[in-house]
Amino acid sequence: MPRFGRLRTGVCLAVAAALTVTFAGPASAHDGPSSSDGGIDNAAATHGHDLHDQHGGTGGHLDPTSTNVRLVSKLGLRNVVPGKIADVGVFNGYAYLAAWGGQTCEANGVHVVDIRTPAAPKEVAFVPSKEGSYPGEGVQALAVSTPAFNGNILVTNNEVCKDKAGFGGMSIYDVTNPARPTPLAVGFGDETAPGQGKKAANQIHSVFAWDAGAKAYAVMVDNEEGRDVDIVDITDPKTPVLIAEYDLDETFPQIVQAAPANLTEIFLHDMVVKQIGNRQVMLLSYWDAGYVKIDVTDPLNIAYLGDTDFTNPDPEAAESGLTVAPEGNGHQAEFTKDNAYVIGADEDFSPFGLKAQNVTDGTEITAGQGSGGRQLQPGQTITGAARFAGRACIGDPAVPAGNGTQVAVVERGVCTFTEKIANVIAAGGYSAVLIFNRTGTDACNQQLGMSVEGDIPTFGVAPRGQGFAIFNQPYDDAACLAGTGPQALPVAVGTTGDTLTFSSSSTAGATCTCTATARAK
């Protein structure tokens, strides 16, 4: 099962600010991008591109500008529709553009464009992906000179848009002659996802390769395992060998940020490797865990060099007079030319920051606003006593009517979130709904996003233990994950619990991509 997570503090381009963050010294399984009930794993969604505006549409993006930019030329690529180009790499006068096409699953691959004369670009080749697969945010060309190979290679990632046809892993092509790309290895990767008797390699979100002298290597983002840093020896690109796998929050637990509580999704999103002095240094954008710097001179014996944290409260929101937790979501980062700084990009999924609390216990509730339903607007607060509504599915005990101010607390499971909300609305008398997680190895104390429709503010999916605490019930996460804990909250439907409050504030006025700088030590 996939395991994913978030990052640290950014500077939002929407407000045109900058932030310097220093690197500090040593100091979950999900059920896919979306599940049948509307649960959204934000991390899986960003790996799959299908549940946010990263590659298509105008919603959530800054307005285009031509300030200080001059259009040199345009080129219409073959079989390209709006939003289809996910990444671009440039090497030796040629651009390599990844056509991901996840929605149609057609004409996927890499366009090769001669840009040696920028005013007159020309497409010279197209590298098709295997049917059912597509490249995404992992396309790179580079020179490799080893005893086994001397020339230029192109590396791409593979994700799946047709389950029975596509495959994952990385692909390597000889592009010494860019107009005639030649496959060297296709669909190579880790085939050892736990509990899966599979033959195809795990899907990977990105890949980055580097020449280390007599050796050459590539690092892949494994979408399907907690050990999501996969390092491959590509000294002979025709016969790549997987040599190491790491889960960095286990290998280097110091990268995990202790607070705020919402920074819980810990996974690799992207990475680069650069020779700095006599070391090969990998810079990883580790979602919710920060930008992480490690020494990979010996990929079998990596060493921690430093990492960043998200500033709490968010300094960008503070400039607007708001006090909110950082959203995290470290997306991609690069070293500056002199290696003194790191330029990083955070990815925002929501323009609004939500603060949710169990007032009675004085504890934070980890939940977000459900997408598609009525939104709690900035400055708006809802406070009310919790009332247990069960699973709120057809066939379950009916949701009792509320008193007009209560918050319906609903257990995830069986039916969709939208069906649950419809039944709460039909019962009447509730100011909001909070949904907490079900049992299961892909649930329990994990927090998820939520796709839901309904004319009532809806929050979730909160960790199961927080739902139990609202009604003063003991919770054992190990038992929940093992399936030996209570399969349902052990209180009667209609039971009144603690007082809850939810308030919303704008984090930047719009969803934005943010940047940060961090001094590299």
CA separation for the pair 491, 483 (Å, rounded): 19
Whether residue 467 has pLDDT greater than 80: yes
Tens digit of each residue's pLDDT (9 = 90 or more) over 381-412 = 999 999 999 999 999 999 999 999 999 999 99
Proportion of the chain above pLDDT 70, given as a percent: 82
| Paired sense of beta strands 149-157 and 139-146, if any | antiparallel
Tens digit of each residue's pLDDT (9 = 90 or more) over 349-390 = 666 678 899 999 999 998 888 877 788 887 889 999 999 999
116 or 63, which is more confident?
A: 116
Q: Is 171 within 8 Å of 156 (Cβ atoms)?
A: yes
Whether residue 97 has pLDDT greater than 80: yes
CA separation for the pair 238, 225 (Å, rounded): 25
Look up the CATH architecture of domain 352-506.
3-Layer(bba) Sandwich (3.50)
Q: How confident is the model at residue 61 (pLDDT cuts 50, 70, 90)?
A: low
Q: Is 368 within 8 Å of 450 (Cβ atoms)?
A: yes
What is the average per-residue pLDDT within 135-159? 95
CA–CA distance from 321 to each of 50, 165, 308, 432 (Å)? Answer: 33, 51, 24, 26
What is residue 371's predicted lDDT score, i.e. its pLDDT?
A: 78
What is residue 258's predicted lDDT score, i.e. its pLDDT?
A: 86
What is residue 508's predicted lDDT score, i.e. its pLDDT?
A: 43
CA separation for the pair 402, 500 (Å, rounded): 15
What is residue 145's predicted lDDT score, i.e. its pLDDT?
A: 97
Q: Is 366 within 8 Å of 463 (Cβ atoms)?
A: yes
Q: How confident is the model at residue 26 (pLDDT cuts 50, 70, 90)?
A: very low
What is residue 443's predicted lDDT score, i.e. its pLDDT?
A: 87
Please give the mean pLDDT across all residues of the chain. 84
CA 201 to chain centre: 20
Q: How confident is the model at residue 27 (pLDDT cuts 50, 70, 90)?
A: very low
**So where are the chain's domains?**
11-52+81-349, 352-506
What is residue 235's predicted lDDT score, i.e. its pLDDT?
A: 98
What is the average per-residue pLDDT within 76-95? 89
Q: How confident is the model at residue 517 (pLDDT cuts 50, 70, 90)?
A: very low
Backbone angles phi, psi at 47, to 5 degrees: -70, -35
What is residue 512's predicted lDDT score, i.e. its pLDDT?
A: 32
| Paired sense of beta strands 303-307 and 290-295, if any | antiparallel
What is residue 271's predicted lDDT score, i.e. its pLDDT?
A: 96
| Paired sense of beta strands 159-160 and 139-146, if any | unpaired
Look up the CATH architecture of domain 11-52+81-349.
7 Propeller (2.130)
CA separation for the pair 433, 417 (Å, rounded): 10
What is residue 45's predicted lDDT score, i.e. its pLDDT?
A: 54
Whether residue 19 has pLDDT greater than 50: no
509: left (phi over 0), alpha (psi -120 to 50) or beta: left
What is residue 263's predicted lDDT score, i.e. its pLDDT?
A: 83
Whether residue 5 has pLDDT greater than 90: no
Tokens (6 digits) for 473 = 């019930």
Q: How confident is the model at residue 315 (pLDDT cuts 50, 70, 90)?
A: confident
Whether residue 50 has pLDDT greater than 70: no
DSSP letter string, 342-382: EEEEEE-S-SEEEEEEETTTTEE---EEPBTSPPPPTT-EE
What is residue 40's predicted lDDT score, i.e. its pLDDT?
A: 54
What is residue 347's predicted lDDT score, i.e. its pLDDT?
A: 78
Q: How confident is the model at residue 424 (pLDDT cuts 50, 70, 90)?
A: very high
Tens digit of each residue's pLDDT (9 = 90 or more) over 226-261 = 899 999 999 999 999 999 999 999 999 999 998 887
Total residue length of the chain: 521
